[in-house]
Amino acid sequence: MLKAYLGIDIGSISTKGVVIDENNKILAESYLWTSGNPINAVKSVLKELKSKLGDKYTVVNTGTTGSARKLIGAVLNARVVKNEITAHAVGTLSVVPDAKTILEIGGQDSKIILINNGIVRDYAMNTLCAAGTGSFLSSQAKRLDLELEDFAELALTSKNPAKIAARCTVFAESDLVHKAQIGHSKADIVAGLCRAIVLNYLNNVGKGKQIKAPVVFQGGVSKNAAVIKEFEKELGLPVFVDPNGHLMGALGVAVLCKDEEDETVFDFNITDINFRTVGEECTICSNNCEVICIYKEDELIDAWGNRCDRGAKK
């Protein structure tokens, strides 16, 4: 039986999973919406991965990353639980070994990672505002009665992109309506939105950062050819987008699993087990900590949120 490694990236919008072999080749992949329920989303991802993997490989270690990495790490008994910066850097370097800059725009946040000689030397994240993210683009596409898949194609036909203020979602929507009312074409408006996303990213997330080639762009928005074009125009550098760019976090944490000396064989039948979370407020002291308890069937398997030992759950 050949060894394989499982990586799960659980975000607020989407959940990604990959299974790789000893040479970092992706054997199976899955990309599904989280839909506000990370445990159910991961179960669905695991079912899809199992169906694609077959019986030739055995998963010997598991890793998690993303905003729900701790929760899903407890559910899957993961050997590796890493933050998104580390996971994305490792995943990207496994595909583009000489990468120096990673631009990432996801569903609800964005980040920049600067790498020197294979080591992360600086990074920045924007998690406070959804302006310029995938969810922002999706909402504007609906407002303009466009399918998100047609957004980039229409934007690339524009000869005179409209100037859209995209530093804030509220201002952007107001500006978008105004531009339409005074006569700007739909193509010019969507092209203006793509340009505004790039300028917003570089002026906020990338502010003060020295962006060097090779530049790798990933996240859901990297599928938008018009945004790629605007990045290349503003940076004066080629921007590389890998077909599996949306899986880099999951790939990275799967690669990190290979460094673990101890192996824990993963059982895909975990999807048949009932997991649930219970939030409790500890009233032992004035901290009033919100403690999250994770149950496997009726067994408490993990808990966190307490700021002192008195609130610890056994």
Residue 167, pLDDT above cutoff 80: no
Q: What is the DSSP letter of 245?
A: G
One domain, residues 280 and 297: yes
Structural domain that includes position 283: 275-311
Task: Give 201-250 pLDDT, tens digit per residue.
Answer: 898 889 899 999 999 999 888 888 999 999 999 999 999 999 998 899 99
Tell me the pTM. 0.86
Residue 114's contacts (CB-CB under 8 Å, 6 or more residues apart) are 100, 101, 102, 120, 121, 122, 123, 209, 210, 211, 212
Of 306, 302, 314, 303, the C-alpha closest to 288 is 306
One domain, residues 185 and 204: yes
One domain, residues 235 and 135: yes
Distances (CA, A) of 70 to 4, 65, 80, 120, 246: 22, 8, 10, 22, 21
One domain, residues 202 and 138: yes
One domain, residues 259 and 304: no
One domain, residues 279 and 205: no
Residue 28, pLDDT above cutoff 90: yes
Residue 5, pLDDT above cutoff 90: yes
Q: Which residue has the higher pLDDT, 143 or 64?
A: 64
User: What mean pLDDT comes out for the span 111-133?
Assistant: 84
Residue 168, pLDDT above cutoff 70: no
Tell me the CATH number at 23.
3.30.420.40
One domain, residues 86 and 32: yes
One domain, residues 66 and 181: no
Question: How high is the mean pLDDT of the chain?
Answer: 89
One domain, residues 231 and 263: no
Q: Which residue has the higher pLDDT, 168 or 60?
A: 60
One domain, residues 123 and 60: no
Distances (CA, A) of 232 to 65, 213, 236, 284: 29, 11, 5, 56
Phi, psi dihedral angles at 43 (to 5 degrees): -60, -40
Confirm if 105 and 132 have CB atoms less than 8 A apart: yes
| Among the ranges given (111-120, 123-132, 194-203), the one the predictor scored with the smallest mean pLDDT | 123-132
| Among the ranges given (21-25, 142-146, 229-233, 249-253), the one the predictor scored with the smallest mean pLDDT | 142-146
User: What mean pLDDT comes out for the span 171-177?
Assistant: 74
Give the pLDDT band of residue 314 (cuts 50, 70, 90). low
Q: What percent of the chain is predicted at pLDDT more than 90?
A: 56
One domain, residues 13 and 78: yes
One domain, residues 157 and 289: no
User: What mean pLDDT comes out for the span 120-129?
Assistant: 83
Q: What percent of the chain is predicted at pLDDT more than 70?
A: 96
Q: How many domains does the chain have?
A: 3
Give the pLDDT band of residue 142 (cuts 50, 70, 90). confident
Task: Give the Cα separation of 280 and 288 in Å (integer).
Answer: 10
User: What mean pLDDT comes out for the span 72-91?
Assistant: 95
Q: Domain ends where: 223, 241, 259? A: 241
Cα 269 vs. chain centroid, distance in angstroms?
26
Residue 143, pLDDT above cutoff 90: no
Give the pLDDT band of residue 46 (cuts 50, 70, 90). very high
Task: Give the Cα separation of 18 and 115 in Å (integer).
Answer: 24
